[in-house]
């Protein structure tokens, strides 16, 4: 009996499985090339811009509303720091599991849940009358946006064929800078007003910063509507779930929208036509069980290098430098405010007539 090289045999089987998985991915890329770049991709980028605006508002609005909200909510220095940190704490927690969740359950479901949840918690934050409610709302805003952000980037990449994917993602990344400029302009236009309305005998008071959060929450609502009702699910995700018919219909609709030609002229009109008849998913329940059981641990394992050399040293240096910069800025602001108050007080005493 000849010896059997079991490790080599296992490696060949794994390589075969990888090749079988890559084949449909290559077919999708070829099918997207046939769809060309067109109106669908402009719609995709427009939706991504609204989504980026909604997400960046989760972390950036705190800095704009603090000058007026700190008096209304009677916040001290520690509370203001915590309020700024809460969205990032939520993002940190969510980012560990966001990737495998979107791969396991699809992009659109997390885009929908993320943005509608972001809208709801921005409304709660806008209605807050205490620091605790506002801080809790900010935490969940960060938690939900980090989940939606992973799906947002994946969806844009998976609807772009390889030759334009880098430009699509570069354009999408530029939305972060553009969003900050627009948010600053909107904040200046809204927070310079003096709005105050009282309800229920003064128990529920809405100030300018409350209306500011209300108005900014409309971006999240718009992102929810556009992603859920305007864009389809990723065909790459559908193929991994062996939903070939749905993936084919989505590719055909993209081709028709981009080219304006009838569906029967699409070169990949019959792609995966008989795939469902011959594909057998072995032990799907076991596959789902393995996903839930191991992917969370894998996500945590992928974060581990951040706290080891050399990344751990870089992380510590970045955190310390940011802390020192923020501390210096706060001390300088405090000294300037104290000096201005002293000058104003001295001027008042000098100008006051003696009794």
Q: What is 21-74 written as a DSSP string?
A: HHHHHHHHHHHHHHH-SSHHHHHHHHHHHHHHHHHHHHHHHHHHHHHHHHHHTT
Yes or no: say if 209 and 72 are a contact pair by the CB < 8 Å rule: yes
Is 323 part of any domain? no
Yes or no: say if 269 and 256 are a contact pair by the CB < 8 Å rule: no
Helices of type H across the chain: 6-35, 39-72, 77-105, 107-126, 131-158, 162-191, 208-229, 235-240, 244-259, 275-278, 284-303, 311-351
Yes or no: say if 90 and 103 are a contact pair by the CB < 8 Å rule: no
* pLDDT for the residue 98: 75
Is 313 part of any domain? no
**Any bridge partners for residue 197, and if so which?**
206
3-state secondary structure of 198: strand
Q: Exposed, middle or buried, 298 (CB in 10 Å: 0-12/13-18/19+)?
A: middle
Rounded to 5 degrees, φ, ψ at 354 are -70, 150
**Any bridge partners for residue 205, and if so which?**
198
Is 246 part of any domain? yes
* C-alpha to C-alpha distances, 247 to 242, 284, 286, 313, 327, nearest whole angstrom: 9, 20, 24, 45, 52
CATH code, domain with 151: 1.20.1250.20
d(CA 178, CA 163): 25
Give the residues of the chain that fall short of pLDDT 70. Answer: 1-24, 274-296, 298-300, 302, 329-330, 333-334, 336-355
Is 271 part of any domain? yes
* Count of domains forming the chain: 1
Is 240 part of any domain? yes
pTM value?
0.74
* pLDDT for the residue 337: 59
Rounded to 5 degrees, φ, ψ at 199 are -130, 155
* pLDDT for the residue 286: 43
* pLDDT for the residue 278: 45
Is 326 part of any domain? no
* pLDDT for the residue 334: 64
Yes or no: say if 94 and 55 are a contact pair by the CB < 8 Å rule: no
Domain interval for residue 181:
6-290
3-state secondary structure of 5: coil
* pLDDT for the residue 72: 80
Say if strands 196-199 and 204-207 run parallel, antiparallel, or are unpaired. Answer: antiparallel
d(CA 317, CA 288): 40
Is 314 part of any domain? no
* pLDDT for the residue 116: 92
Tokens of 289: 């069980």
Is 330 part of any domain? no
What is the number of other CB atoms lying within 10 angstroms of the CB of residue 248?
22
Yes or no: say if 146 and 159 are a contact pair by the CB < 8 Å rule: no
d(CA 79, CA 135): 9
């Amino acid at each position: 009996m000849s010896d059997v090289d079991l490790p080599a045999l296992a490696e060949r089987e794994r390589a075969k499985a990888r090749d079988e998985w890559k084949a449909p991915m290559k077919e999708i890329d070829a099918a997207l090339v046939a769809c060309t770049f067109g109106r669908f991709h402009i719609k995709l980028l427009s939706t991504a811009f609204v989504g980026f605006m909604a997400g960046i508002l989760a972390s950036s609005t705190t800095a704009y509303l603090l000058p007026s909200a700190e008096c209304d909510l009677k916040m001290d220095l520690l509370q203001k720091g915590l309020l700024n940190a809460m969205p990032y704490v939520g993002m940190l927690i969510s980012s560990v599991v966001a990737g495998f969740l979107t791969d396991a359950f699809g992009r659109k479901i997390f885009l929908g849940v993320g943005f509608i949840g972001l809208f709801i918690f921005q409304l709660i934050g806008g209605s807050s009358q205490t620091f605790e409610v506002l801080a809790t709302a900010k935490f969940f805003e960060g938690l939900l946006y980090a989940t939606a952000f992973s799906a947002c980037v994946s969806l844009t990449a998976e609807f772009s064929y390889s030759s334009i994917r880098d430009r699509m993602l570069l354009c999408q990344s530029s939305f972060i800078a553009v969003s900050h400029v627009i948010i600053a302009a909107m904040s200046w236009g809204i927070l310079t007003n003096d709005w105050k309305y009282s309800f229920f005998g003064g128990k529920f008071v809405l100030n300018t910063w409350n209306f500011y959060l209300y108005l900014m929450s409309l971006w999240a609502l718009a992102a929810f509507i556009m992603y859920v009702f305007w864009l389809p699910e990723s065909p790459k995700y559908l193929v991994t779930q062996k939903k070939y018919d749905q993936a084919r219909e989505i590719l055909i609709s993209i081709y028709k929208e981009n080219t304006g030609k009838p569906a029967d002229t699409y070169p990949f009109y019959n792609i995966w036509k008989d795939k469902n008849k011959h594909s057998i998913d072995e032990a799907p329940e076991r596959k789902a069980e393995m996903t839930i059981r191991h992917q969370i641990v894998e996500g945590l394992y992928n974060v581990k290098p951040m706290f080891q050399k050399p990344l751990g040293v870089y992380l510590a240096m970045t955190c310390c430098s940011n802390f020192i910069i923020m501390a210096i800025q706060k001390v300088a602001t405090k000294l300037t405010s104290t000096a201005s108050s002293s000058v104003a007080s001295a001027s008042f005493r000098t100008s006051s007539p003696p009794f």
